[in-house]
Amino acid sequence: MLRNYLKIAFRTLWKNRTHTLINIVGLSVAFGTCVLLFLTATFELSYDNFHTNADRIFRLNFLSTNRDGTTDKGATMPYPISPSLKAEFPEIEGVTRWFDRSAGVRRNNQTYNKDVRMADADFLNMFSFPLQKGNANTAMNSLSDIVISENMAKDIFGKEDPIGKPLQLRMNDAWQAFTVTGVVSNAPKNSSIDFDALIRSENADDYQEFKTRWDHGNHDVYVKVKAGTDPQTLQRRTQAFMNKYFAKDIKERQEQGYPKNELGFQRSLLLEPLHDVHFDTVTTHGGGISRAYVYTLLLVGLFILAIACINFINLTIAQSLSRAREVGVRKSLGAKRVQLFGQIWGETLLLCFVAFLIGLGLAYMTLPTFNRLFRSYLTLSDFMKPVVLLVTALGFLLITLVAVVIHPGS
């Protein structure tokens, strides 16, 4: 019986090959486009989700108001704020500065251009960048310690064990000696924090000059709170901290007539969740991605798929009118409704499956161009994720069932 249904399905599709071709082209283009758009949106929404304790990590922002009443939000922090926060707030488990910089790296008279970032010792215990070699608790204890990524270890040391090996960094207009103390896993593509190597933030060229100055900011600060801490309560408590260390600035703003911020103060400290950093288009260095952009991609994909489905259903209805005689003959010969439903659904499922395979092929062929235009990092493995396969299967069932249910012959 199944073999007979398949034979009839192929004959029907071939007999109506014009409609079949139109349906396959329309659905395949829609499927391919939607897959790329949906995967891109999913990738953007997955930023920083790989961190085990991402819900307990926050980036600090200053919140104030300009003279014209507009909000002034900034993430650049002064050097002394990190140790002061950790000392005065017991609910803060870890604090790290973050300098988004690059530096030249030299070994055996060969120079490499790498993204060498500066952070504090808590960094390796706050974020989920596992160490392949070394100890996260001691790898950044010394100012001359350097933790490198797997890619950097491969580029510079090859198959040689890099632990304990010397490297030179171009710092403060001079080459400085460092020792490799750890090899950390490469940062995933969906990480808002990226690096080739990590050194202590005290190596910054202006650290000694500004380490006690509260009026000079040049880096980001991330904090990790202890489990069970209410971020909103902690943020409210930081207002007294602001009034203590930024009293001079707050007084000057009051005297000059600056309006208060949305929280009712001259200056406040905000705890921005790590999940929101990638979508912060105001303070994120290099420019964040607006969530509206991501949701627009989803809506455009759904719109394209809806148009293709409507076109497919309309053509299916139009074709079904010419098959009324066939359906009548089958009913007169004793065909049951479930049998007619199964045959029509089988034809629809077969057509959609072929269109989907072609659509995947189109998506794969255009993937390099798509990644370049949208600055995305999609790979073939993204197509094979369980969630993607499940959504695809449900989409198949929905489209084919709708087409069959409204089919006059069913």
382 lies in the same domain as 247: no
* 248 inside domain: yes
**Which amino acid belongs to residue 49?**
N
Distance CA 43, CA 238 (A): 34
Cα distance between the two ends of the chain:
18
The encoded tokens of residue 26 equal: 């329309």
**Domain range for residue 255?**
54-277
238 lies in the same domain as 301: no
204 lies in the same domain as 82: yes
Weakly modelled stretches of the chain, pLDDT under 70? 1-16, 284-287, 318-346, 396, 400-410
Q: Residue 184 forms beta bridges with which residues?
A: 131, 149
242 lies in the same domain as 340: no
259 lies in the same domain as 380: no
pLDDT in tens, 338-385: 555 556 666 777 788 888 889 888 988 999 899 888 778 888 777 777
pTM: 0.85
Distance CA 217, CA 200 (A): 17
CA 274 vs. chain centroid, Å, equals 11
pLDDT recorded at residue 382: 77
185 lies in the same domain as 132: yes
98 lies in the same domain as 186: yes
* 66 inside domain: yes
* 241 inside domain: yes
265 lies in the same domain as 332: no
pLDDT recorded at residue 184: 97
229 lies in the same domain as 172: yes
pLDDT recorded at residue 59: 97
225 lies in the same domain as 267: yes
Domains: count for the chain: 2
